[in-house]
Structure 1
Amino acid sequence: MKLQRLMVVIDAEHQQQPALQRAVEVARETGAALHLLQVEYHPSLESGLLDSRLLDRARETIVRQSCEALRTSVAHLSAEGLQIEVDVRWGKRRHEEILSRVAVLQPDILFKSTHPSSALRRLLFSDTSWQLIRRCPVPLWLVHDAESRGKRLCAALDPLHSADKPAALDHQLIRTSQALQAALGVQAEYLHAQAPLPRSLLFDAEVAQEYEDYVTQCSREHRQAFDKLIAQHAIDRAQAHLQEGFAEEVIPRFVREHNIGLLVMGAIARGHLDSLLIGHTAERVLERVECDLLVIKPERKG
């Protein structure tokens, strides 16, 4: 993973900018350039009742003033020696404007602050963070709080691909975690949560009698797959953790108990209809963890 260009979404409606703070921390360690993107939009300036030229001038004025204000707010970082580019644009659909700039700039990481959002907003796809989890093609670093929770990161792995993701994605998560460990001086941990089919779902008496054998075999398969994956990357056994339970329960608990500051997870897209479910585990985990989340998509072939 390269760390040369970092793109940061600036939330104009919030005074605090956790994503910017985290990106600055990474840039100080790596020398990466920062591209700050702020998307402005005011419904009142979309009215068809006003002269289009006046509306255009009003929008241009807002963009220019916001750009000047943003440049002033980060002047101390430029004076520090950080390479910073400021970009303010007008856009009704914020996530689409962000994705458009990502496609052009191809940043190594996109940083975005997270803010509480209701289940209804997620259902209606109105929250930018959830749209980016589903659609952002580059690593997406969602920053939970300006103050980092710890100097450790955790990669959530799935060596048996129960989430129907490509095997290569686990290797990608590990390589990304190792790169961040080397570049940022953080300790990387590797976690796999495995949960056998609950006994309560087995209604056939004959099958139920074989349940213990099934659990033993299931655990053995997960252990073998996890050990094989870890061995391919020369990871210290002390950094590899196989725990029993559902991912949405095991991962948040592990994050709390091990003082994890960054959780690295994979997400996939399988088609138009399935896009409703992309990042499903990541979404449930994000609601329960109090650390940053780095979402990785499979590398594009060709």
Structure 2
Amino acid sequence: MLDINHILVVLDQEHPEQYALDRAVWLAKATNSDLTLMTCAWDTYGDDNARIDEATRHSIKGALSQRAQSWLDSLLEDRDVANVTVRTEVHWQKHLHDGAIESIRNTDFDLVIKGTQPHTLLQRIFTHTDWNLMRHCPAPVMLVKSATPWKHNRVLAAIDSTSRDTGHELINDNILSFAEHLADHFETDLHLANAYPMVAVAFAMVPEVTAPDDIQKYITEQHEEGCAAWAKKFNIADDHIHIGEGDTDVVIADIAKETEADLVVVGTIGRGGLSGVLIGNTAEALVDKLECDILVIKPQDGVRPDIS
């Protein structure tokens, strides 16, 4: 059975506000989880490859690590963490996502939480922490968009209801399992979202090919049937199923706004390399379109391996 016991909070010293920590403390209290706060310290002159003497390198590394530790400690001074077990970690890593993944290798975290800000294409290409965590973190990743508390405790699970391959089946099951678990904790109904392609547009791009009669109706019915099957498995009410036509990231963002969702749970295949950056995927495209928090699930996260 899915449960959330250990939460890792990835904290960036360059962010002026720490939305992730506030959300993490709230979730830890709701789920009775413990928290580990982590950040990184690093400098060229404190690195082992620096061309200065060892004693000076160690002195620089120690001073920067202590400064980072003091910063973590200061974040807890103004927050109510009573009855929450909190640990802190400072990793000597140049990139924050490398420190987070190093931390996860040592502890079996059930959820990783990080604050996020708007991104540019260059940030996606050049080792941006959010994108690397979504692709490579061996645990579900929640990206927090603002300090605003969840107003409705409404969770929206976004799936591809017609995929039949094992990977997408597992992603769908993981998405809905995690979303259901959070919805149960906050005593709210779970919503399901699904987008389907605009076939007419696709055929318009290749006018030499004639679209079969009623092809759009057939595709729509396939997605409706697929959503109905997943909704039945997770006891989602019919009026909580939302299906839209168009690009997935646009449709899901619109549904999230219409339903006033506080959290969207979505899957990613974790595509890597330059092709992954340029092509992208739904989860990454959604980060900047959504106004609410987003929780990203991958097939290998192992949220619910007992798929049936």
| Residue 284, structure 1, aligned to residue 285, structure 2 | yes
- Which secondary structure state, in structure 1, belongs to the residue aligned with residue 214 of structure 2? helix
Matched residues in 1 for 2:259 and 2:46: separation? 49
Matched residues in 2 for 1:180 and 1:196: separation? 32
Matched residues in 1 for 2:98 and 2:204: separation? 44
Matched residues in 2 for 1:196 and 1:252: separation? 17
Q: Which residue in 2 is equivalent to 1:101? A: 103
Task: Flag the 1:78–1:64 CA change in 2: closer, same or farther, 3 A.
Answer: farther
Letter in 2 for 1:192: N
Q: Give 5+ residue unaligned stretches, structure 2.
A: none
- Give the count of matched residue pairs: 298
Kept in 2: contact 1:26–1:184 (CA 8 A):
no
- Which secondary structure state, in structure 2, belongs to the residue aligned with residue 82 of structure 1? coil
- Which secondary structure state, in structure 1, belongs to the residue aligned with residue 118 of structure 2? coil
Deviations 1:215-245 (A, max 9, x none): 1111121211221221222221121112222
Q: Give 5+ residue unaligned stretches, structure 1.
A: none
Q: Which residue in 1 is equivalent to 2:113? A: 111
Q: Which residue in 2 is equivalent to 1:297? A: 298
Report how far residue 279 of structure 1 moved.
6.1
Structure 1 outlier segments of 4+, above 6 Å: 270-274
Q: Pairwise mapping of residues 42-191 of structure 1 onto structure 2 (< 5 A)?
A: 42-46=43-47, 48-75=50-77, 77=79, 80-124=82-126, 126-148=127-149, 150-151=151-152, 152-161=154-163, 165-191=167-193
Report how far residue 119 of structure 1 moved.
0.9
Task: Flag the 1:175–1:167 CA change in 2: closer, same or farther, 3 A.
Answer: same
Task: Flag the 1:116–1:272 CA change in 2: closer, same or farther, 3 A.
Answer: closer
Q: Which residue in 2 is equivalent to 1:204? A: 208
Q: How does the TM-score come out when normalised to structure 1?
A: 0.89
Letter in 2 for 1:91: Q
Matched residues in 1 for 2:14 and 2:22: separation? 16
Matched residues in 1 for 2:144 and 2:240: separation? 24
- Which secondary structure state, in structure 1, belongs to the residue aligned with residue 132 of structure 2? helix
Report how far residue 27 of structure 1 moved.
1.0
Matched residues in 2 for 1:163 and 1:44: separation? 49
Kept in 1: contact 2:41–2:65 (CA 8 A):
yes
Percent identity between the two aligned chains: 25
Task: Flag the 1:250–1:150 CA change in 2: closer, same or farther, 3 A.
Answer: farther
- Which secondary structure state, in structure 2, belongs to the residue aligned with residue 173 of structure 1? helix
